[in-house]
Structure 1
Amino acid sequence: MDWNESTISPSPLVRKALLEFADNGLMNWYPDVNNKKLRGELSSYSQVDVDYIDYFASSDALHEYIIRAFINPGDHITMIAPTYDNFRAAAESIGAKVDYFWLDEKNQFKFDFSRFEEYVEENRPKIVYLCNPNNPTGTIYSTELIEQLVRRFNDVLFIIDEAYFEFVGCSASPLVANYENIIICRTFSKAFGLASFRVGYAIASKHNMEGLRKLRNPKNISSYAQIAATAALADVNYMQEYVDEVLEAKKVFTESLLSLGIEVIGSQGGNFVLVKFGEQQKQVMSHLENNQIFVRNYGHVNGMSDYTRITIGTRQQMDFVFETIRSSL
């Protein structure tokens, strides 16, 4: 319940395809460096032209390519925070300067659009990183809001991390055909259950995609990862059934925690919730660990000393987590 991975195995088609490759594949060869079938499946799934899409060795690796392609030492990056930290780490590793626009913790991490516009106008970062829905707060940004930002600040590159797209359904992907200053990052690690294979993909304009491909090492996306992703896309119904199960489990889990007087944030976005245990946090964390349930304590993050993020799994799994929490209070 810590890393927001899928809590079940991927589609049986994935295992079948991998076993077939192990028996018949040429494992001594390099991977396909231009997997047209996979790109075609991604295009169909994402409902964008195939020229606007390409696959990478995880969305983390994609972040690093974006930094290398578009950022120089000393450039200014703004991240809407608290959020996923990998983009910050990649940016600072090459000498970029990162600052944060903080969501309103006192108002359940609400996003103040007008104040953010003023912030960008004043600071003029080269890149804005926005996770949608945001990890760990579950904050959701509408496509209309994102388009307003992209249109107004056309000299700022907006990185929209849609790692949890499948759990909310809304996407900024239609914007890439009309705007050059937006790149969307997605992953197979969450809803599709392929975290160990390290495969993600980008959706962006032709121009931006050409820039990323100049740096992308196509041999770094293993044959197994390509096969697993292709097989997972051939069984979208399996993924959707799991997503539906997670969303139902999250609803019940959230209502159960609220009935105990525990504050829950982000119940709308992602396969996780952010929980405020307050003074009871230490005893709850200790009790969960003693029962082999591991969750993400956000006590190390500015202003989040009382918060814990819990990955949502199946209804049965979350019933067990809830009962363990209740017995700790």
Structure 2
Amino acid sequence: MSVGEFLKPWIPHLTPYKAGVTLPGLVKLASNENNWGPSPKVVEALKGAAVDVYRYPYKDEEVRSAVAKYAGVSVDNVVLGNGSDELIDLILKAFRGPALSFNPSFSEYRIISQTLGTEFWEVDLLPDFSLPVENFGKIGGKANIIFVATPNNPTGGVVSQKDLVSILKLGKITVVDEAYFEFCGETIVPLIKKHPNLIVLRTLSKAFGLAGLRIGYAVSNPEIIACLMAAKPPFNINYLAAEAALAALADIPYMKKTTGAIIRDRPRLMRGLSECFTAYPSEANFVFADVSPLTAEEAYRFFVGKGFVVRSFGRFPNFGGEYIRVTVGTTDETSGFLKVLDGLRRSRKQRQH
């Protein structure tokens, strides 16, 4: 028997998602996690809930209510997902393609589309990594699902509300991924009533520090939410994730305190990277940089040798340069990373003399 006889023909050609590397003992600045960690209330809630993990999850409605209150919408505007990844998967299962996004952006839009056999298109960003609105709109008119990440991962740039509205007016299912909303403060959620084709994705992985528990949510009109609820598997939010989400959403001041520290430290990281490389403005919890003439892998190995793990992307199709992404860690972690950058800058200056 050959497995290939039974495989869908496109599966052997898929390239799986490549996650940021975790190396024990090193400071991880590779996956846009909140290195300040979750609220102490989350830790206490998890300790108390651990003895009940023999039960199937049953607090989805309670979590939906807490999310709705936080997002300023009604419960019937919210569906929960096992991270944003599952919500992307649900959207692509529920709605017909082709799907469209831009390059570079979050690779799961492409990977999940291709896994499900959905035709997927990309429009290259401009050389400064801003959105070519007119060209994107022309191709978007031929797609059925449009994914727009703002702030964009991995570049950190924001798509203006004006440009988002112009995309929404194409009348396609438009998914605005606000995974980094808490680091920029700009949201399009209030427009779900005016634009019934709008779906907004968010996550508790970043600002709330729950990346290891996998919990995200989508906000949209009740009709779309009902479709996604019908398509999702049962018990998709595990028992501990639900408890953690409730505790995190009950401690918004802690989240604002840690995101505030990250926002304050972000310009420091931007300046430090700019002194050695070409860094790009970011409204997220990371900074994107072109490290050429080094390769991204050379930069990665250099920083690992200094005790820091960054994300190596290398080259993107149709773009020059060699790219890495660096998470804004805690203030102490950022200060340590800046010392490494300063040392690199000084050694380069000495070689030039």
TM-score, length basis structure 1: 0.91
Partner of 2:41: 13
Alignment of 1:228-307 (within 5 A): 228-258=244-274, 260-267=275-282, 269-281=283-295, 283-302=298-317, 303=319, 305-307=321-323
Q: Is the 8 A contact 1:287 1:324 kept in 2?
A: no
Partner of 1:27: 53
Between the aligned partners of 2:209 and 2:259, the Cα distance in structure 1 is 11
Q: Greater CA deviation, 86-95 or 282-291?
A: 282-291
CA drift at 1:148: 2.3
CA drift at 1:284: 3.2
The equivalent position to 1:130 in structure 2, one of 139, 148, 163, is: 148
Between the aligned partners of 1:31 and 1:2, the Cα distance in structure 2 is 31
Deviations 1:146-203 (A, max 9, x none): 122212x11x111111110110111111121222211111111111100110100010
Quick one: structure 1 residues 220 and 22, their matched pair in 2 at CA, closer, same or farther if it must change by over 3 Å?
A: same
2:167 paired with 1:149: yes
Matched position secondary structure for 1:227: helix
Between the aligned partners of 1:280 and 1:88, the Cα distance in structure 2 is 28
Q: Greater CA deviation, 218-227 or 34-43?
A: 34-43
Partner of 1:68: 93
Partner of 1:98: 120
Matched position secondary structure for 1:203: strand
Q: Is the 8 A contact 1:39 1:55 kept in 2?
A: yes
Between the aligned partners of 1:27 and 1:119, the Cα distance in structure 2 is 47
Between the aligned partners of 2:310 and 2:212, the Cα distance in structure 1 is 19
CA drift at 1:36: 2.6
Quick one: structure 1 residues 257 and 93, their matched pair in 2 at CA, closer, same or farther if it must change by over 3 Å?
A: closer
Aligned identity (percent) is 28
Between the aligned partners of 2:109 and 2:272, the Cα distance in structure 1 is 34
State the AA in 2 paired with 1:112.
P
Runs of 4+ in structure 1 over 3 Å off: 280-284
Q: Is the 8 A contact 1:284 1:325 kept in 2?
A: no
Alignment of 1:46-85 (within 5 A): 46-71=71-96, 75-85=97-107
Partner of 2:15: none
How many residues are matched?
A: 315
Between the aligned partners of 2:294 and 2:115, the Cα distance in structure 1 is 37
Gaps of 5+ in 1: none
Between the aligned partners of 2:117 and 2:189, the Cα distance in structure 1 is 30
Q: Greater CA deviation, 296-305 or 231-240?
A: 296-305
CA drift at 1:304: 5.2
Between the aligned partners of 2:298 and 2:193, the Cα distance in structure 1 is 51
RMSD in angstroms over aligned alpha carbons?
1.6
Alignment of 1:34-53 (within 5 A): 35-53=60-78
Matched position secondary structure for 2:329: coil
Partner of 2:6: none
Q: Is the 8 A contact 1:59 1:201 kept in 2?
A: yes
Alignment of 1:217-228 (within 5 A): 217-228=233-244
Between the aligned partners of 1:190 and 1:27, the Cα distance in structure 2 is 24
TM-score, length basis structure 2: 0.85
Deviations 1:124-147 (A, max 9, x none): 111111111100111211223212
Between the aligned partners of 1:63 and 1:87, the Cα distance in structure 2 is 7
State the AA in 2 paired with 1:31.
P
Quick one: structure 1 residues 172 and 284, their matched pair in 2 at CA, closer, same or farther if it must change by over 3 Å?
A: same
